[in-house]
Amino acid sequence: MYPFKNLSSEEWFRELYVDARYTKVIWHNYNVKKVLLLPGNVEMIKNDKKKAQEFIELVKSCK
């Protein structure tokens, strides 16, 4: 199981993920994967709105 699967319960993550541009970034961008593959980071993103916004900005800046 991928650690970032926990984020699928978050509406903002699902919105990013269903957009093909961002799905590709989530799966293939080194910087995004580096964040998502550490379970501690995923929990921090899930529990902290500021960190979630920073992650969204990271994904959108990589497209």
Domain that holds residue 36: 3-61
Q: Which tops the pLDDT comparison, 2 or 19?
A: 19
Of the candidates 9, 58, 17, 60, the residue with the CA atom closest to the CA atom of residue 34: 58
pLDDT at site 3: 64
Answer yes or no: is pLDDT of 41 > 70: yes
**Mean pLDDT, rounded, of the chain:** 91
Answer yes or no: is pLDDT of 1 > 60: no
In terms of C-beta density within 10 A (0-12 exposed, 13-18 middle, 19 or more buried), how is residue 20 classed? Answer: exposed
User: Looking at the 3D structure of the chain, how many domains does it have?
Assistant: 1
Answer yes or no: is pLDDT of 30 > 60: yes
pLDDT band at 2 (very low <50, low <70, confident <90, very high): low
